[in-house]
Structure 1
């Protein structure tokens, strides 16, 4: 619009412009006004025997439409140029539009050009006036409506983003089972957005039924798009904060509910203040769990986030061979590309695997856990059975309080239930064993009810089998043995899973757990046997004579070794299980990874460099007196 020629003699016809641009061109000329160079020295022309020229006073008489072209020394009509229809010679034909009017002798033609009220000139003037009335112009109406739609859309979008941010921060599901308009609960997102609209008149005026059908911003696709945008912005901030700093990664893979292998990746780095920051950066789908596939997924994620594997200084995985294998595992493949990416095994996971190894490798312990899991499944199969269990246990507690076997007081004898162990959290088995020992009598009563009144024959058979297994000395002994072992490692397990982990404290707890297990092996047999014997007498379980021959249930007597009960329970179970636990702890928590972590633990950020914490070094010397002098910091 800034390049439109102002001289009417140099203008192209209005029809030469695109139909989409003509009104914009017309409006620009009308806002600029007619071209009237009043200070111009108008040239003279000979008409007959007189010199004549354009009179600038004519601008005053016809100020709204008369124009003068300096280049062609001719007069023009701005309104007719903009809107004159093609009507031949009427009202001066094309003289005031195309060629221009320059016959200064016949100046009455200016008035005749105006014509009557319905002349072509006056029709063009009316169209000019209508065009200048912006509020009545169709384009103005369209623009006003478009602006209003844009404002309404932004209100809806901001409300949707606010609701989605709330759900994301709280980790709450979005979708509902029934999201139809007649549903009483349409899901967290729609219900939260409705609540927002009900308490905000501005949002209520443009949301749900007041919104156009195609921009309600309530569909699952829109929700997913906003969530994806939020994830990208969050990742962008995380990567910006990492910058050029060195970092480490924690990787684990698992199968989701759709039976797809997913790999979760977490990065750890130190910020400018010396704080260790841990951030989850994504879940990557992997076609297989081979080390090569996992490495390709890691590289793909790094490439998308703009991270370099050359900045990697640590890697942590679980104990699977495809993750930490010495030759072909993910650890080894990354070390080939970056030898500085040191591998450190997760301490909490190491402890879990140590407990799993004992449970799987010892037949009697494996049988005890098998029976325990089935007891939890049978007793907790219905709410009715759980209510019976709580009622039976409450009655036993009241009876024990009356006879003085239990002490009463604030916080004591709280209502409890049989805890279900987690398959991937072996630390949860400790709570299961404790609750089973506490509620043993009530559990036996419930199993008796199932055996007599169970709805199906297989449940009755299972209850009968469990009763026979639980009411044996071997089950009671292994139950109390593993309860004692897990009690020792429970504190260590909780310490290793703390978010604000103190590495020095964790390693000291590892050593303390080893010492307590060793002390239990050396001094704990008699006390354990007395506890088990008392438990058996209370629950009418036969305690075998430790000096008689041991007869294993379900095994032939001819091939069975001739041993006494004391040897079986003390050597084959008590000593063997504790030795296995000690061996696993020593194997899992090897000196290499421990010393590496200890060195890192003693580093204290100080301005732009790291120094060693003297107090931590002193604490380490207490647990490693023989190795401490060999360390050179």
Structure 2
């Protein structure tokens, strides 16, 4: 029972100095592993023999770490006992496992016995294995909304029941229960959000308070995809953009030509004083391929295309003159399509429309974004689109004309009959240019966008979120409605009994009356700020039921951005050079790499003790 008096310790016959040396050696190895994991770097090397020029990141870093530090240098590598150097692959993995365990322990300690929500998604890794990532969302002791990476798990298939079992196993592994779950966030795939047998339904069958929210950012992307596919001219426009990127980006020579042409354009503009100079300005840009599943990619592609338009035209001219075969013909076709008022109008229109939705997308991807504010942001985006439809036609047309004059594109008379590209005047619609561009494109595209937003964000009209909006502190709780707040509490019968609801009514009356007169609560914008301010002013102790209801509101997830970021980290950790990483090793590396701030706050002594207690070690402390 006393480690220092055990038989194993007695038989080891280690002196006090050897224990000191062992601790120094272990701490040095932990320091090196921590640095490498924090930066997502590989630990092992291809050739780790003593005569190798590069023995791998871990050994090279350990040698560098010991250089000039005599207290470390005398106990590591060749100066350590051959059977206790603490540099083997197994030791490295144990240290990473200890770091991951301590990080998870800190996260669970921060969560405590509070309620939480889960964000789940699956994706293939580089070795074509389906991986499921789980992120938990909760409110910490300071009232802040936190999203933390819990782990990643290999799933043999993506059926809802398989995913549910894996989620439950991961929660049980970390001592969490589905009974404490109060929210689910997925991307809307049928195996996740299916009404009959989806993951959300299987979890709701066990916990009716685990309300599901379809990822807002994913819904926003789907609205764009729907418009791009359902409007004929917009579909052709995005098809032309995709073909253009394939043609220009398919050759290093063409890409280099575009870069040089753009560089010369910027240099001329700077010499004439048409561009400002400064840090971060006039950076090199490139054409990015838009992707239906990559948030904001369409907007970034179109912005870069507008900025590099003349350079792209110059590259197509070069291919037309000097190219051969299919490339030459494709360049001629693209020039005929790009060098038109139709293309310039579509480009400008979609940039203006996507600028509004892109701002919303970026706001939704914040980790601390709350559901009430997210619904408000969607409403603001709808209002801005409607405002654009009502009063921005003239300014849009003026910007298109200005762009065409600058790029040498012919501007048609708006009163003339519209002639579709590639078709004769007789077979075209008998409408004027003004009617076509204003009514059939401008109004129609914005109307389709608004219709898709209304249909896809149906959660914004749900009874639950309508009640949650009453807790918003905006404009001194202008939206507050006591009856709706009480109705909101009824959605959580396990937390609010009939007796608690009576107490909540009394607390809410007193709370609203007090905070409306308190200057500290005057300029709050969202429910997240309200929770933080309540903790700062200790009103969370004075009004515990009010604070509990606010926490339940904040727990509901908004977007699966944190899960998407974990998949981005996975592609960095498990790449084509490290494609044989085991599932447990991948999970431990990801925990340390993603949760860097928690890793930095861990007491090194805790890692030492965790490593030592993991299994029987040759050395003792």
State if a TM-score over 0.5 links the two structures.
yes
- After superposition, give the CA deviation of every residue in 1:56-108 in whole Å (9 maximum; x if it has no partner): xxxxxxxxxxxxxxxxxxxxxxxxxxxxxxxxxxxxxxxxxxxxxxxxxxxxx
Change in 2 beyond 3 A, CA 1:209/1:411: closer
Q: Equivalences for 1:154-553 in 2 at 5 Å?
A: 154-176=23-45, 179-211=48-80, 215-380=84-249, 385-400=254-269, 406=274, 408=276, 414-421=282-289, 423=291, 424-453=293-322, 457-501=325-369, 505-553=373-421
Alignment partners' CA distance in 1, 2:103 and 2:64: 26
1:591 counterpart residue number:
461
CA shift for structure 1 position 145: 7.0
C-alpha deviations, 1:524-544, integer Å up to 9, x for none? 233322322332233233334
Offset at 1:348?
Answer: 2.8
C-alpha contact (below 8 Å) 1:317/1:324 kept by paired residues: yes
**Residues 548 and 299 from structure 1, CA distance in 2 versus in 1: closer, same or farther, beyond 3 angstroms?**
same
Contact 1:251–1:264 under 8 Å retained in 2: yes
**2:454 matches 1:572:** no
Instruction: State whether residues 397 and 413 of structure 1, in contact with CA within 8 Å, keep that contact through their aligned partners in structure 2.
Output: no
Look up the SS of the partner of 2:114 in the other structure: coil
| Partner-residue secondary structure (3-state), 2:97 | helix
Q: Please give the secondary structure, in 2, of the residue aligned with 1:522.
A: helix
Query: 424-433 or 546-555, which moves further after superposition?
Result: 546-555
User: Cα RMSD between the aligned structures?
Assistant: 3.8
Paired with 1:223 and 1:417, the residues of 2 have a C-alpha distance of 41
Structure 2 stretches lacking a partner, 5+ long: 1-6, 478-503, 527-552, 554-621
Instruction: Give the aligned partner of residue 597 of structure 2.
Output: none
Cα offset, 1:377, TM superposition: 4.7
1:276 to partner: Cα distance: 2.7
User: Which of structures 1 and 2 has the larger relative contact order (alpha carbons within 8 angstroms, sep 6+)?
Assistant: 2
2:160/2:192 contact within 8 Å kept: yes
Superposed, which structure 2 residues align to 1:75-224 within 5 Å?
152-176=21-45, 179-211=48-80, 215-224=84-93
Distance 1:425 1:616 in 2: 38
Report deviation, 1:295.
0.9
> 2:110–2:141: 8 Å Cα contact kept in structure 1?
no
The answer to whether the Cα contact below 8 Å between 1:312 and 1:338 also exists between their aligned partners in 2 is yes
Distance in 1 separating the partners of 2:246 and 2:51: 39
Q: Is the 8 A contact 1:286 1:297 kept in 2?
A: yes
CA distance in 1 between counterparts of 2:107 and 2:33 reads 20
Q: Secondary structure at the match of 1:576?
A: helix
Q: Tell me by how many angstroms 1:523 deviates.
A: 2.3
Bigger CA radius of gyration: 1
Cα distance change of structure 1 residues 287 and 493 upon mapping to structure 2, 3 Å threshold: same
Q: Deviations for 1:532-565, whole angstroms, at most 9, x for unmatched residues?
A: 2332233233334545554544679998655554
TM-score, normalised via structure 1 length: 0.66
CA distance in 1, matches of 2:239, 2:62: 48
Does the alignment pair 1:581 with 2:449?
Answer: yes
- For 1:70, the equivalent position in structure 2 comes to none
Write the distance in 1 (CA, Å) between the matches of 2:146 and 2:404. 51
Offset of 1:599 from its aligned partner?
Answer: 4.7
Q: Distance in 2 between matches of 1:398 and 1:559?
A: 46
Aligned-residue offset at 1:427: 1.7
Q: 1:617 to 1:289 in 2, by over 3 A?
A: farther
Task: Note if contact 2:146-2:368 (Cα within 8 Å) is conserved in structure 1.
Answer: no
Counterpart of 2:141 in 1: which secondary structure? Answer: coil
> Could you report, residue by residue, the CA deviation over 1:140-189 in whole angstroms, capped at 9, with x for unpaired residues?
x9955798776655443322122112223344443445555455444432
Measured after TM superposition, the shift of residue 433 of structure 1 is 1.6
Please say which of residues 457-466 and 472-481 is displaced more in the overlay.
457-466
What secondary structure is seen at the aligned counterpart in 2 of 1:344? Answer: strand
Mapped partners of 2:11, 2:118: distance in 1: 55
Q: Distance in 2 between matches of 1:457 and 1:147?
A: 80
Q: Secondary structure at the match of 1:359?
A: helix
Secondary structure at the counterpart of residue 326 of structure 1: coil
Q: Give yes or no for contact 2:145–2:368 (8 Å, CA) kept in 1.
A: no
- Residue 324 of structure 1, CA deviation: 1.9
**Alpha-carbon contact 1:253-1:264 (below 8 Å) kept:** yes
Would you say the 8 A contact 2:200–2:212 is kept in 1?
yes
Report the CA distance between 1:482 and its aligned residue. Answer: 0.6
User: 3-state SS of the aligned residue for 1:498?
Assistant: coil
